[in-house]
Structure 1
């Protein structure tokens, strides 16, 4: 069986403030079920959301360092005017422009109030039905290898695979894409963003963890202690968690 992405974890010094930013940025709702702030599509909280992948803001004592995150969000726009309006709205909410050496590109690179980079994309037909989050993007050395691992891990369909980029999406054809972009940048900091994966009803957490290890995942100690989830790293060292069945 495969696991389903439950949400993106974003580690934050102030999860309430960062969660408020992302809720206003996406037009979603910030919920406060405990020590975390959970940002999901508007309406009554449904977890996991059947289509969207929510954001779970988790408190940590350390702020983000200067290194670029290995994972970021790409936001969709529907027209050039909408892209400009969205970027202006985000700046008014507290986002800041970021220069990563991107040069002249059609998308806008910003950072949230704690420095997590994200992009506001120009209109692209491929993202017309994703909702506000077009893609969850991961920098990596080997997009082909990452597509193999993650395609098996979560059962998503590979839409594009090349040396420079691989793109996956839910087989239902809904929600954001998961994209892997080739990067030569070395990992220099712990992951600030990562995916949490959830077993399907009736599936066993330990069986799924064993399956992921067989695919190339390794155990990871981030100081989590005795918790009901299992922390792993994918073949390129990116942190992710397998949650207990819901």
Structure 2
């Protein structure tokens, strides 16, 4: 499941928790022993059940290798022309997690919080009488115009998300509902893989909660539809 953050799910997961399949005694009995003298022991990344010796800074890593140690993450080398290939083949590198950079662009979550603040704004006409303030038509009109402008900005931001982001939001809601009904029986599902513009990345893959690799296929970047006549591709194969 660690690779799912590439969909931008870090913020979404708190709203739509996706639970891994349980680690049964049968699965745990098949786990290899951790080498003695290991400096740090961590659970396998994603939905793995076994413990593994954490990798140190500079060591090679990937989606199916042992996890990087605390304060590290597995990333392709700078300028790597095939980053996905490196991650699936264990040719990425454990590197220190950089400090987050401040962003000047408002995020959708910020706008949603803005919207909440607007509705509960004590300066709006809805709350003037409740706070024993004299009714001022001009102040009420200004508050309504301010609310209208901010709501328009929210709608514009949602439209700018792009088709992939919209489908991703729907998929998260659907998975959350399905998991409530199916529980541990839900082991495979599809989450759209989006680029920063809200379009579909050429390669899409199933996600798995049982530690198994899901199937992958190539799609049209505009609508996410599977390319006509194309077959499923391996996890380490690039799409045109």
Per the shorter chain, which TM-score range? under 0.3
Give the structure with higher Rg (CA): 2
Q: Which has the higher helix share?
A: 2
Q: Which has the higher strand share?
A: 1
> Under a length normalisation based on structure 2, what TM-score does the superposition of the two structures give?
0.26
> Under a length normalisation based on structure 1, what TM-score does the superposition of the two structures give?
0.26
